[in-house]
Structure formats: structure tokens, C-alpha cells
Amino acid sequence: MLSHINDNNNQPQMVDVSQKEITLREAHAQSKVILPKDIAELINNNEIKSKKGPVFQTAIIAGTMACKQTSQLIPFCHPLPLENCKIEITSKGNVITIDCFTKIHGKTGIEMEALTGASIAALTIYDMCKAMSHDINIIETKLISKSGGKSNFTNKV
């Protein structure tokens, strides 16, 4: 059974979490961006300085803002008061890894916020570097782990 479909008339609906217990919930999502060699060569002290400003610092801010706005972007996400959102960006060669960690004491999971934060940070890197090249690839966004609800998850890939 899909949780966002009503049993009676097969219509979309928000999940009712009113009877759930409040627990500590955490999630970790990750996005990866592949930069062309000429842009990757601009990385200095884990940052790219572009005409638009510091790329990775701006991506961290954008990702954090996106986490806080997830319920306005995804129709059936509950609005959640984030207690923590941390975005880390690392580079190894031309591969940029964005890790987004979220935390809340709540009745529903926080993984969509983590996935949104990592995704928007990746898109921000693309946006800030596209004037230098359009050969930038966002190759994946995935949930690494979540905990605190009725089921925990760890991505084994």
C-alpha cells in the first residue's frame, strides 16, 4: 500500500502522523557532481572562486535554505522545524561530494529534507560554474541513511 494514496477513493493525501510518537530522527543524503578538468583545476583549499562568488560556500547556504523549504516544494511533505542541518562539500579530483545531514525530534522522517538539501547544493554548484562549462554532470543523489522512525535504513551501495 502506498502511504500517500487514500484507501477509499485512490486519491493522493498527506500521511496522518498525529498518532505517531516523537522520536529523534536523523538522515544523511549525498549528491555527487563531476566537473570538467578545467573547472576542477580551479579548486583551491576546497573552494572554487567564481565571478559569482565562492561556489561551495554558496552551495552550502542554498542547500540549507532548501532543507528548510522542502514542504513548500514537495506536496505531501510535512512542514518540519529542523533542529540541525549540516552540509559538507569535499572534492577529490574532479568529483565533488555533497553530504547533507539533518536532525529533528519529530513524528515523521527528515530524509526528504536531507535529499532536497544535497540536490539544491549540487544544482547551485552547476549554476555557479555553468558560465565556465556546461560539461558538468550531477551523477547521483541518494539517501545514505535514516534513523529514528519505525524503520532505519542504511544504503549499502
pLDDT at residue 151, rounded to an integer? 85
Residue 44 lies in a domain: yes
pLDDT at residue 13, rounded to an integer? 75
Residue 151 lies in a domain: no
Residue 1 has pLDDT above 60, yes or no: no
pLDDT tens, residue by residue, 82-114: 999 999 999 999 999 999 999 999 999 999 999
pLDDT tens, residue by residue, 4-52: 566 676 678 788 888 889 999 999 999 999 999 999 999 999 999 998 8
Residue 152 lies in a domain: no
Q: Where would I find the H helices in the chain?
A: 37-40, 55-68, 70-73, 111-129
Residue 104's DSSP bridge partners are 25
pLDDT at residue 4, rounded to an integer? 59
Q: For residue 112, give its domain range.
A: 23-146
Residue 72 lies in a domain: yes
Q: Which of 16, 99, 127, 135 is catalytic?
A: 127
Residue 139 lies in a domain: yes
First CA to last CA distance, the chain: 26
Count structural domains, the chain.
1
Residue 114 lies in a domain: yes
127 has catalytic annotation:
yes
Is-contact 30 142, C-beta < 8 A? Answer: yes
- Short-list 92, 76, 94, 57, CA closest to 6: 76
Residue 77 lies in a domain: yes
Residue 11 lies in a domain: no
CATH of residue 136's domain is 3.30.70.640
**Binning pLDDT at 50, 70 and 90, where does residue 3 land?**
low
153: phi then psi, degrees, rounded to nearest 5: -145, 135
pLDDT tens, residue by residue, 123-145: 999 999 999 999 999 999 999 99
